[in-house]
Copies of this chain bind each other. A is one copy, B any other.
């Protein structure tokens, strides 16, 4: 058991360079991701064709490794507390064409091909289907949203039948 734990530890540490100086993290040529206290790193997913942001999710070290190896997006689902290959239920797989990391290596950006698919569990192509009205806020009034996608790409009741909604209040 101890050997298994040590192997597991080695497996996830040897492929990531230790974060031991800021210059290397910012200007170096090796992946040194910074996971937060929950073991997660944020990931932004954009559509390679339109450039639109499709979704923002999280990866743990295993999801990051699987994404690099398979070139298909894997995430960590915070609502289900589980590794999650995008498309395993909906069929809407995300093929990773470019995968970037930011200056301090605590945020990821994937440019993906989703064909004619969608990325939002509500049924829209992008999770970001509403714009916030900009301008003066009257403190007695709520800020309005405008729908930018008019039509859903799929019916979530059919695609995710019987599964709990990941949105939490």
Chain A residues at the B interface, C-beta cutoff of 8 Å? 10-11, 14-17, 19-22, 25-31, 42, 44, 46, 50-53, 55-56, 65, 68-69, 71, 96, 98-104, 107-109, 120-122, 124, 127-148, 165-169
| A99 touching B167 in the complex, CB below 8 Å, given contacts A53-B44, A109-B53 | no
Label chain A's interface by main secondary structure.
Answer: loop
Option from B22, B56, B148 in Cβ contact (under 8 Å) with A44: B56
Write the chain B residue with the least CB distance to A47: B51
Given A25-B167, A46-B51, answer yes or no on A130-B143 (Cβ-Cβ < 8 Å): no
Residue A130 contacts which of B51, B100, B148 (CB distance < 8 angstroms)? Answer: B100
In whole angstroms, how far apart are the Cα atoms of A167 and B24 in the complex?
Answer: 11
Copy total for this chain: 2
Check A128–B145 contact: CB distance below 8 A.
Answer: no
Q: Which residues of the partner chain B approach A138 to less than 8 Å between Cβ atoms?
A: 15
A134 neighbours in B (Cβ, 8 Å)? 68, 71, 96, 99
B residues in contact with A14, CB < 8 Å: 139-142
